[in-house]
Amino acid sequence: MKKVTAIAPANIALIKYWGMRDEEFTLPANPSISMTLRECVSTCTVAARDDGATEDEVLWVDIGGRVGSAPPWLRSGVVRQVERLRQYVGKTVALRIATSNSFPTGAGMASSASGFAALTMAVGSFLGGPSTGDTLSRLARLSGSGSAARSLLGGFVEWPGSADDPDSPARQLFAAGHWPLCDVVAVVDPMPKSISSREGHRRAPGSPYFARRQELLPARAERVWRAVGDRDFDRFAEAVEEEAIDLHLIAMSARPPCFYWQPATLAVLQAVRMLRGEKANVCATIDAGPNVHVLCLPAEVPRLSHVLSRVAGVHSIIVDRIGEGPRFVDEHLF
Ligand code: PMV
């Protein structure tokens, strides 16, 4: 039986997409830049249903390898995206789809980005539609997780989404080999976050500081881009941390507010500051969740992991690094 399996990595945003210009087409309020990871991945296997059923079957494979029906919230998002892809390609076949994540799901670690990237690739390819390129980038974005478009590429990635070309696809700025940064994630809470990114995007413009953020972003994005280009960690760290705090300032000052941080989030930020004070090449960023991504040069990983694992309230540590992007494999989930 024909099966297609795609593996797509999570990404961590350096300049964050926060707020939507258009919800129906998932057009962002601002351009974003991310770093694609290597070990934190989603896998998706697709085949045609062979039991005559006309509905899609959606399976979830947990970290221990146990296969079960996907929970309703996951199933509905998957089925909507599959329907979109079927319509695009013009086919009607019912599918069996299984997905899994190698890391905590829904905790602000881009599991929807990697999940929808893998799903869009696997289903697109299975149906004979696009499996790479700009069309795939646009289709992945329509899943509702705009950052999924960035998970289709490796290295440092930009999703332009600017006012003059809001529909632009994501594009690679630098390949992974350009600067082999690591990402040590301090997992403060592995459980799904209480306020989805989608809801956060909706609330963002309600912050009195949202308009000011839009004014500041172009210069900050350029600072990140140049620092990566020059492999200048100090300049990189300054711009990335500024951006992370800014995003959460907007989230916390939205009406109603989105508080993603927990006490241990702040404790990790303090530990990172302490290390920076000792001249370590480390800096922190946080997506829509309580977990802290500490970006660093490879030499810092042992000490950093040790320090972070001793911070009170840190549940676990995930050591990851920049990755080459998604791929198709011959090992299937079912
Ligand atoms: O792509 P979404 O809808 O999951 O939103 C991503 C939001 C952030 O992770 C906070 C920022 C980003 O650019 O990834």
Around ligand 1, the residues with Cβ closer than 6 Å are 13, 16-18, 32, 112-113, 145-147, 197-198, 287-288
Q: How far is CA 219 from its chain centroid?
A: 23
Parallel, antiparallel or unpaired: strands 292-296 and 282-285: antiparallel
Q: In angstroms, what is the span from residue 55 Cα to ligand 1's centroid?
A: 30
Q: Could you identify the residue written with the tokens 């390129």? A: 133
> What spacing in Å lies between the alpha carbon of 162 and ligand 1's midpoint?
16
Q: What is the pLDDT along the chain (334 residues), one digit of tens a residue?
A: 999 999 999 999 999 999 999 999 999 999 999 999 999 999 999 999 999 899 999 999 988 889 999 999 899 999 999 999 999 999 999 999 999 999 877 656 668 999 999 999 999 999 999 888 899 999 999 998 999 999 999 999 999 987 788 889 999 999 999 999 999 999 999 887 889 999 999 999 999 999 999 999 999 999 999 999 999 999 999 999 999 999 999 999 999 999 999 999 999 999 999 999 999 999 999 999 999 999 999 999 999 999 999 999 999 999 999 999 999 999 999 9
Judge if pTM exceeds 0.85: yes
> Which residue do the tokens 């309230």 mark?
313
Query: What pLDDT is stored for residue 108 in this prediction?
Result: 60
Tell me what pLDDT residue 131 has. 82
Atom 5 of ligand 1, residue of closest alpha carbon: 197
- Are 60 and 72 in contact by the 8 Å Cβ rule? The answer is no
Do residues 35 and 293 lie in contact, with contact meaning Cβ atoms separated by under 8 Å? no
For residue 144, the ligand 1 atom closest to its alpha carbon is 3
* Residue positions counted in the chain: 334
DSSP-derived pairing of the beta strands 32-48 and 327-329:
unpaired
Minimal-distance CA residue to ligand 1 atom 2: 145
